[in-house]
Structure 1
């Protein structure tokens, strides 16, 4: 796509990467579903958690665009979606300013969540913003040293789901707790976070499989560069298995049969896996990347529905 054909509005949309927003919203939806099912749902904290998660995702996208161009990771040989800084569509200072402004808005939203959730939310919020910047920036960008998969699993899975559940449960306790009030972070919330964590990470796995050769040439040591195509595909398969094992575990431990609703997406998951297991070219893996995002959204929505309905109807 020539830069002369891209409008300013379109360029900013490309930088924000709205196609990645399911990765931010899906774990929040699961946390809300579990809160509804266990009767601790609180609408304002739930909404603030969703808005905060979306802002952190967009801020992270701006940071990746800016720092990957600055470090030389992005180049004309890259097979992925157009990066606005590297391609010259938006100047580096403007992308950097957008990153700072977006993270500042996330912190503003977080002020309310801090009032509700206290010190634990301060820790989670600051860690999330710092991780969003340090993924591609700073003296040791951990996305370039094989730690990106762990970052996504933790922050777009474990932290997002448990944090969403926690702020709702804490809203029913006391304002600004210094630590976790009783029963605000049950084991069920941690386990419920695993499917979203797994599928969010698989988005990155596909991204890194597609970019493995250009990343290696640029000196970026993603996990796919370190372990190669074969073991990256093993990682993808294991994470996919985790996403479909957890709903079964919930059902076997006493949750309603409705919690198995995510299994309806198995055929689509198999279809995506067949592509990921056999192809490395961007023309095929770019659509697969979007498909994993859609799988994450569908799986999370069905899982949240299965968790929520017994509490809502009961």
Structure 2
């Protein structure tokens, strides 16, 4: 008797689909904005001595959870405000397309915050309790980025807040928990990360410019207009590469960090992807390339710093 392959494979397919739905809720293409800064801050700390792996792992997981929760808050509040539909581009879509209850999404986001809070207690207990204040502020920004009566994402300050809190500050915290201090080098190296994380938000706002304008948002992309916003994106990409060059020339980072140039094709692809395209679905690859630029740039910068530690 032959087994019914169609029936036997259906539960597995549905199970895989279920996992995919929950995974998409976190908007995985944005999670590198949390991973890369932790790696960079830890790489910088290596020259000050051995790395506390437990603190590194706790910081990494907490940052990923906060970023994922922030994405879920975005999903929830945009749905509540009627901004997301099943045809919306660039969203997780778990509520409008996959039928996940809004309450489930918001509860899961707060659950992630709860786990991050526990990890934060471990980090503070092994470094400084002053970080508790910093961590709570970061979590508040994650919530109010799209939550509350005046969401940060609806203002011209979205790129600044996301770049500073998810770029620079994570690097500095990751460095501090390993070394007990914040040095000039860690601040200087965190600047391109801050810019590139902010550019992920700018690329999102360029893609959603028309829809955001209709819904009363006042993002940088709307205030500048699409053409100038793309010019700003390209200019910030160029600035980030020139900044690393300046760090090499001034002796702040080793010459190995020049390998960040290998990420330049992604930056070019991102910029070109916005030019001449007007539909959100057409510009989605450009936003993805922007996120990939941040990932590859930051990873290569960390690798260059690691090599510099071992070679010098």
Q: Alpha-carbon deviations, 1:198-239, whole Å to 9, x = none?
A: 111111111111111111112233222232212211321232
**Match in the other structure for 1:189:** 186
How far apart are the structure 1 equivalents of 2:240 and 2:274?
17
- Unaligned ranges ≥5, structure 1: 171-183
Write out aligned runs for 1:235-314 (5 A): 235-254=232-251, 255-314=253-312
In the TM superposition, residue 242 of structure 1 has moved relative to its aligned partner by 2.6
Q: Alpha-carbon deviations, 1:170-210, whole Å to 9, x = none?
A: 2xxxxxxxxxxxxx101111111112111111111111111
CA contact (8 A) 1:199 1:240 kept: yes
How far apart are the structure 2 equivalents of 1:49 and 1:239?
28
Which structure is larger by alpha-carbon Rg, 1 or 2? 2
1:42 and 2:42 equivalent? no
Q: How many residues in Structure 1 have an aligned counterpart in Structure 2?
A: 298
Q: Alpha-carbon deviations, 1:47-99, whole Å to 9, x = none?
A: 21111110111110111000111122223553334522234621111111101
**Match in the other structure for 2:122:** 112
CA contact (8 A) 1:63 1:99 kept: yes
CA contact (8 A) 2:158 2:219 kept: yes
TM-score by length of 1: 0.88
For the aligned residues, what is the CA RMSD? 2.1
TM-score by length of 2: 0.89
In the TM superposition, residue 40 of structure 1 has moved relative to its aligned partner by 5.5
**Match in the other structure for 1:55:** 65
Write out aligned runs for 1:15-26 (5 A): 15-26=25-36
In the TM superposition, residue 5 of structure 1 has moved relative to its aligned partner by 12
Gap change, CA 1:268 and 1:93, over 3 Å in 2:
closer
How far apart are the structure 2 equivalents of 1:49 and 1:136?
24
**Match in the other structure for 2:6:** none
CA contact (8 A) 2:85 2:96 kept: yes
Write out aligned runs for 1:37-116 (5 A): 37-39=47-49, 41-76=51-86, 78-87=88-97, 89-116=99-126
- Unaligned ranges ≥5, structure 2: 1-13
Q: Which moved more, 1:192-201 or 1:128-137?
A: 192-201
How far apart are the structure 2 equivalents of 1:267 and 1:9?
32
Write out aligned runs for 1:106-255 (5 A): 106-170=116-180, 184-254=181-251, 255=253
Gap change, CA 1:74 and 1:168, over 3 Å in 2:
same
How far apart are the structure 1 equivalents of 2:235 and 2:133?
30
Give the SS at the match of 1:85.
coil
Q: Alpha-carbon deviations, 1:252-296, whole Å to 9, x = none?
A: 122321121101222332232222344332233211222222221
Give the SS at the match of 1:84.
coil
How far apart are the structure 1 equivalents of 2:92 and 2:53?
37
Q: Which moved more, 1:260-269 or 1:188-197?
A: 260-269
